[in-house]
Structures are given as structure tokens and as C-alpha cells.
Amino acid sequence: AQSVTQLDSHVSVSEGTPVLLRCNYSSSYSPSLFWYVQHPNKGLQLLLKYTSAATLVKGINGFEAEFKKSETSFHLTKPSAHMSDAAEYFCVVSDRVGTGRRALTFGSGTRLQVQP
């Protein structure tokens, strides 16, 4: 069975400082991994995805993530936080869990606060 653990439920940073949101996963197969962002009262927007190509993945708005198979991690980073980055972030693993079924398993989310 696949699972996703987001290690921090809340992260607070100052504007202009680096962001690190941590994610560990488990999967029986070779998963695809995603980070989604959810702004207040909005739907989920894809930030970036890993699908077994380059292990360092660049996404929108300056975010990137590195897939580390040995550590089963897919941490999200950004060099310099902006006020508009304040949102909830979800790490997601996508894998086949049976005949035809593709399951997206979500982490419980990390709420990022950016202080001025």
C-alpha cells in the first residue's frame, strides 16, 4: 500500500528566506510524485511533478523538489519566500493499486505562513 507523510503540519518563514516542506512516501511500485498548492477558498493547483525522469524537478513560481529514492523523500524547496506563497501544500503519490485503478494518495498537508 502506498502512503504519504508530510512531516510538518505548519511551517512559518519570513519573506525572503528559504522554504523547505518535507515529504516522505512509501510505495510498492515506481510511483509518480506531485506537489499541489491550495490557496484559501481555491482548488488545487499543480506545482510540479516527478515521473521517473530527472530527479530534480522544477515547478512554477520558483519551487523545486528533489526525488531521493534511497530516502523515499520528495521535499519541496524555494530559495526565497514571497507573501503570495502563503497557502496549504499537499504532497501526492500516484500509483496503480489494482486493475485499472490509479489512486492519488494525499499527505495531510502543510500550511505555509510567510511573515513580512
Return residues touching other proteins (CB under 8 A): 4, 9, 32, 34, 36, 42-46, 49, 51, 90, 94, 96, 100-104, 106-109
Please give the angle made by the CA atoms of 6, 65 and 12, to the nearest 5 degrees.
50
Shortest reach from residue 116's CB to other proteins, in Å: 26
Give 56 or 116: the residue with its C-beta nearer to other proteins.
56
b/e map of 48-76 (b: 16 or more CB within 10 Å)? Answer: bbbeeeeeebebeeebbbebeeeeebbbb
Shortest reach from residue 56's CB to other proteins, in Å: 18
